[in-house]
DNA sequence: GACCTGCTGCGGTTTG
């Protein structure tokens, strides 16, 4: 029997209605893996590869052919974006309509009436965000068994975004809690674009038995890649002529087709969008370059997305990672990347947006901007580290490498969140039960009983007041805990900064972080246009704008990203090598040679520690952000002044000698490596933990203390 | 030296 024959009648009818000649390869393989078996499945294929159908055609067939006799949702889908859920729900409704099976999208923008209907008579497919599922546990904990008693499988969309994140840990915890509430494990089906390490993805679904997860990967189909890296040099400091040249190049190359330009930061997006608009206006050409980032209004972003998807008018979105994943935006001619990104996986994901049709090459235009060398130029400029990183990332991309998730992280902030959530779900819980659910069966397996006890004590501290113990050992929410859990902002595990709302002509055009110092009369570039600030309302955090002829780009802030050890190691291979990649233009070749010359001149080809002057050194750690930052903190706590770069530290000290301090570190003679004033609170629930716990959390995720002695030993001997 | 994601229940008012 063919895969098609095994599908239910309504599903076959829908497939014929689509005019499909045959099922795609992954759809056939998914049908085989899903129908009549019960193993977990991962379906990995590029965007628009028919993954959703591959999972749902067999899953729905099972629901149609063997309807359940108890109430409850038949299938659960968890997606990371509201827009994705709305999109997928519309697609599934077409398949389910015929058989009158309800499809319920559920997120913050869905009307309460439709949610109430679904709760009253749960059936069919529920598509939900992690946050809304969290809210169901907190607000309707007692009803969870009824709602999901009959559920046959959960589909996890865009699974690669979940592997290493707080949100991914939250989702895994919710699934464990769902299993326990039902008294039966729910089958997991993961959908993903290209995954770096498939075994880690399997372990995400089944930590105890990763090999039992059935893997379906779309074979080959990798289209040809056309690649170019162009180098640019700025003039004196504060000069933006190189950026203007890149804008001119983008204008010439991209006009007339659909493209994505990843500019790296929201401020940069605004700069290039403004420059490109200006170039169009000067030549009296219609506008086709639009900014796209998270601070712009939903309305503006939808406008750009729809323009891209329609394919009627040529459209280039200058964007941040907002357009890395999510809804289908149609065929893209080329992906441009200004400056190197922080991860190879982001680069790969971005490139996946181009050249998706068979026979059409994917095109990557990479731009590297370096500063003119002056007396005051820093190490990063002199070694041309931006260009070098861009090359290292492209090389690793071509080798199909990408960053693995860090599985040792404790995720203590999310652990606090889940402790509060379980207590709210059940109206109370014992410490033993919390530990069993979260740390033995759930995702917090690297948290040992001692650490878990310390977390509970921190939350139970009368000054914190998040939880308290009743006479029968039951843990309950304290007054502060109740306040936090009752507020709707509780459901997300990630923090949200405070922002101004920007109004123009009475309409909201976006938001700005409050750390911008803004006053009436100041000029602003925002949403690809120029404005004058009319009024700042500090109480309600509202700023009114009027059109203006000039402006400057605002500050959006942000934290520096972590660069992996493998990327830094490759940067050193590039710096010490003498081959010139074929995809570099003349200016980039010139810049690479300048960087390599400077590396030799500093003397790094024979040592890793270079003496600059009395009490000043440059150290080539040759390690990623986590290890390099660990050494930087350890030296800071010994009174060193430290400046960190990709794989390098610039150090100075009035009295101490670097080599003898490194020797002490290499011998493991120092236990205090975190300075007293180090900032350790980054995640949403970190403020409720003790400093010792924050240090433990940082050491498990952002730092690497276990590598420190070896690094110091290496620095002294090589 | 960065980016992104998400959100309930209730009381009041308006409209058909």
| C-alpha torsion angle, residues A253, A257, A263, A268 (rounded to 10) | 90
Question: A421-425 contacts: CB < 8 A, separation 24 or more?
Answer: A421/A134, A421/A137, A421/A138, A421/A485, A421/A490, A422/A177, A423/A467, A423/A475, A423/A476, A423/A477, A423/A481, A424/A137, A424/A138, A424/A141, A424/A477, A424/A485, A425/A137, A425/A138, A425/A141, A425/A144, A425/A177
Which residue lies nearest B8, CA-to-C1' measured? Answer: A488
Give, in degrees to the nearest 5, the angle at Cα A356 between A354 and A360: 90
Note the CA–C1' distance, A488 to B9, in angstroms.
9
The 3-class SS string of A481-505 reads HHHHHHCHHHCCCCCCCCEEEEEEC
Q: Tell me the nt nearest to A557, Cα to C1'.
A: B2
Q: Is the CB of A264 under 7 A from strand B?
A: yes
Instruction: Report the predicted TM-score, pTM, of the whole model to 2 decimal places.
Output: 0.94
A303 touches strand B (CB under 7 A): no
* pLDDT the model gives residue A641: 95
Strand partners, A291: A318
Å from A73 (CA) to B8 (C1')? 21
Give the CA-to-C1' distance from A111 to B14 in angstroms.
Answer: 18
Q: Å between A209 CA and B2 C1'?
A: 36
Question: Is residue A1 very low, low, confident or very high in pLDDT (cuts 50, 70, 90)?
Answer: confident
Beta-sheet pairing, A499-504 with A316-319: unpaired
d(CA A127, CA A148): 13
- Cβ neighbours of A115 (radius 10 Å): 16
Which bases along strand B come within 7 Å of a protein CB atom? 1-10
Q: Which residue is nearest to nucleotide B6 (CA to C1')?
A: A492
Query: Burial, A236: exposed, middle or buried (Cβ in 10 Å; 0-12, 13-18, 19+)?
Result: exposed
pLDDT at residue A47, as a whole number:
64
A488 close to A107: Cβ distance less than 8 angstroms: no
Residue A120, token pair as written in the block = 């009253």
Confidence of residue A540 (pLDDT cuts 50, 70, 90): confident
Q: Is the pLDDT of residue A619 over 80?
A: yes
Give percent of chain A with pLDDT exceeding 70. 98
pLDDT of residue A61: 97
Name A residues 558-587 whose Cβ lies under 7 Å from strand B.
558-563
Confidence (pLDDT) at A98: 81
Residue A387: count other Cβ atoms within 10 Å of its Cβ: 26
* pLDDT of A67 above 90: yes
Q: What is the mean pLDDT of chain A?
A: 93
How long is the CA A228 to C1' B6 vector, in angstroms? 38
A266 touches strand B (CB under 7 A): yes
The pLDDT score that the predictor gives to residue A356 is 66
Look at residue A325 and tell me whether its pLDDT is greater than 90: no
The answer to whether the C-beta of A173 is closer than 7 A to strand B is: no
pLDDT, one tens digit per residue, over A412-426 is 999 999 999 999 999
Residue A116 burial by CB count (10 A; 0-12/13-18/19+): exposed, middle or buried?
Answer: exposed
* Tens digits of residue pLDDT in A135-171: 999 999 999 999 999 999 999 999 988 888 999 999 9
**pLDDT for A539:** 85
Answer whether any strand B atom is within 7 A of the Cβ of A645.
yes
CA atom of A109 to C1′ atom of B13, Å? 21
Nucleotide with smallest C1' distance to residue A129 CA: B6
Can you give the distance from the CA of residue A322 to the C1' of nucleotide B4 in angstroms?
A: 6
Report pLDDT for A355.
64
The bridge status of strand A609-613 relative to strand A616-620 is: antiparallel
Please check the confidence at residue A575 and state whether its pLDDT lies above 80: yes
Positions 385-424 in A, CB within 7 angstroms of strand B: 389
Q: What is the pLDDT of residue A220?
A: 58
If phi > 0 it is left, if psi is from -120 to 50 it is alpha, else beta; for residue A432 that is alpha
Span CA (A181) to C1' (B10), Å: 28
pLDDT at residue A592 tops 80: yes
Residue A443: which of A425, A404, A466, A417 has the closest Cα? A417
Is strand B less than 7 A from the beta carbon of A119?
no
- pLDDT for position A387: 98
Span CA (A499) to C1' (B9), Å:
25
Query: Is there a contact between A265 and A273 (Cβ–Cβ < 8 Å)?
Result: no
A167 touches strand B (CB under 7 A): yes
| CA atoms of A402 and A570, how far apart (whole Å) | 13
Residues 128-157/A with CB < 7 A to strand B:
129, 131-132, 135, 139-140
pLDDT of residue A329: 84
- CA–CA gap between residue A359 and residue A362 (Å, rounded): 10
Give nearest nucleotide to A134 (CA–C1'): B7
Reading the block at residue A12, the tokens are 């076959």
The model's pLDDT over A450-507, given as tens digits with 9 standing for 90+, comes to: 999 999 999 999 888 899 999 888 999 999 999 999 999 999 999 988 899 999 988 9
A295 touches strand B (CB under 7 A): yes
The residue that minimises its CA distance to C1' of B1 is: A560
pLDDT of A194 higher than 70: no
pLDDT in tens, A629-666: 999 999 999 999 999 999 999 999 999 999 999 999 99
pLDDT of the residue at A407: 84
| The pLDDT value given to residue A222 | 62
Question: Mean pLDDT lowest for which of A224-228, A234-238, A553-557?
Answer: A234-238
Q: How far apart are CA A139 and CA A133, in angstroms?
A: 10
Dig out the tokens for A654 from the structure.
């009035």
Could you tell me the distance in Å between the CA of residue A485 and the C1' of nucleotide B8?
A: 11
Residues 6+ apart with CB under 8 A from A291: A269, A270, A272, A273, A304, A317, A318, A319, A527, A528
- Residues of chain A with pLDDT > 90, as a percent, come to 78
CA of A130 to C1' of B1 (A): 30
Half-sphere exposure of A681 (CA within 13 A, CB side): 10
pLDDT on residue A402: 86
- The pLDDT tens digits of the residues spanning A228-276 come to 999 999 887 667 889 999 999 999 999 999 999 999 999 999 999 999 9
Lowest mean pLDDT among A260-264, A328-332, A701-705: A328-332
CA of residue A139 to C1' of nucleotide B8, angstroms: 8
Spacing of A562 CA from B6 C1' in Å: 24
């Amino acid at each position: 029997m063919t895969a098609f024959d095994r599908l239910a009648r309504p599903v076959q009818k829908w497939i014929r209605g689509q005019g499909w000649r045959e099922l795609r390869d992954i759809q056939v393989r998914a049908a085989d893996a899903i129908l009549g078996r019960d193993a977990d499945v991962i379906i990995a294929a590029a965007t628009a590869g028919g993954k959703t159908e591959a999972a749902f055609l067999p899953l729905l067939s099972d629901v149609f052919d063997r309807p359940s006799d108890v109430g409850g949702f038949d299938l659960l889908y968890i997606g990371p974006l509201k827009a994705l859920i709305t999109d997928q729900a519309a697609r599934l409704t077409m398949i389910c309509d015929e058989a009158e099976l309800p499809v319920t999208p559920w997120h913050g923008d869905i009307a309460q009436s439709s949610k109430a209907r679904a709760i009253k008579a749960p059936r069919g497919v529920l598509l939900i965000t992690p946050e809304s599922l969290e809210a169901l546990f907190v607000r309707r904990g007692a009803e969870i068994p009824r709602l999901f008693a009959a559920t046959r499988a959960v589909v996890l969309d865009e699974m690669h975004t979940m592997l290493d994140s707080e949100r991914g840990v939250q989702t895994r915890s919710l699934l464990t809690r769902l299993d326990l509430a039902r008294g039966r494990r729910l089958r997991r089906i993961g959908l993903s674009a290209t995954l770096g390490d498939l075994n880690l993805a399997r372990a995400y679904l089944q930590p105890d038995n990763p090999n039992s997860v059935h893997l379906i990967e779309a074979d080959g189909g990798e289209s040809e890649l056309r690649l170019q890296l162009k180098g640019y040099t700025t003039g004196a400091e504060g000069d933006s002529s190189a950026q203007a040249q890149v804008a001119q190049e983008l204008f010439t190359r991209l006009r007339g087709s659909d493209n994505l330009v990843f500019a790296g930061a929201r401020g940069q997006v605004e700069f290039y969008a403004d420059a490109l608009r200006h170039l169009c206006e000067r030549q009296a050409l219609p506008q086709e370059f639009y900014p796209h980032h998270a601070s712009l209004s939903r309305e503006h972003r939808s406008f750009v997305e729809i323009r891209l998807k329609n394919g009627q008018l040529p459209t280039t979105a200058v964007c941040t990672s907002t357009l890395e994943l999510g809804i289908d935006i149609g065929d893209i001619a080329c992906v441009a990347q200004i400056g190197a990104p922080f991860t190879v996986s982001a680069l790969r994901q971005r490139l996946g947006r181009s050249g998706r049709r068979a026979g059409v090459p994917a095109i990557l235009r990479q731009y590297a901007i370096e500063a003119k060398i002056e007396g005051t130029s820093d190490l990063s400029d002199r070694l041309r580290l931006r260009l070098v990183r861009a090359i290292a990332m492209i090389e690793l991309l071509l080798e199909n490498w990408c960053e693995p998730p860090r599985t040792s992280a404790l995720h203590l902030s999310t652990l606090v969140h889940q402790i509060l959530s379980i207590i709210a779900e059940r109206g109370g819980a014992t410490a033993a039960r919390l530990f069993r659910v979260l740390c033995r069966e759930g995702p917090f397996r690297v948290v040992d009983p001692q650490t878990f006890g310390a977390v509970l004590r921190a939350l139970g501290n009368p000054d914190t007041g998040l939880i308290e113990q009743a006479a029968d050992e039951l843990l309950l929410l304290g007054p502060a805990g109740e306040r936090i859990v009752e507020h709707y902002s509780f459901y997300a595990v990630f923090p949200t900064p405070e922002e101004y709302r920007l109004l123009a002509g009475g309409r909201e055009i976006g938001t700005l972080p409050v750390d911008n110092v803004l006053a009436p009369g100041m000029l602003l570039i925002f949403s690809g246009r120029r404005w004058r600030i009319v009024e700042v309302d500090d109480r309600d955090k509202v700023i009114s704008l009027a059109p203006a002829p000039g402006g400057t780009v605002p500050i959006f802030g942000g934290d520096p990203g972590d660069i992996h050890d493998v990327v830094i190691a490759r940067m050193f291979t590039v710096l010490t090598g003498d081959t010139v990649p074929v995809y570099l233009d003349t200016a980039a070749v010139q810049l690479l040679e300048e960087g390599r010359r400077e590396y030799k001149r500093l003397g790094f080809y024979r040592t890793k520690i270079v003496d600059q002057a009395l009490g000043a050194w440059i150290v080539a750690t040759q390690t990623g952000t986590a290890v390099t930052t660990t050494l930087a903190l350890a030296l800071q706590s010994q009174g060193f002044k430290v400046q960190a770069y990709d794989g390098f530290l610039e150090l100075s000290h009035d009295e101490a000698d670097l080599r003898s301090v490194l020797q002490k570190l290499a011998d493991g003679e120092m236990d205090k490596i975190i300075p007293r004033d180090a900032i350790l609170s980054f995640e949403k629930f970190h403020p409720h933990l003790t400093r010792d716990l924050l240090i433990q959390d940082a050491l498990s995720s952002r730092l690497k203390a276990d590598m420190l002695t070896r690094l110091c030993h290496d620095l002294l001997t090589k």
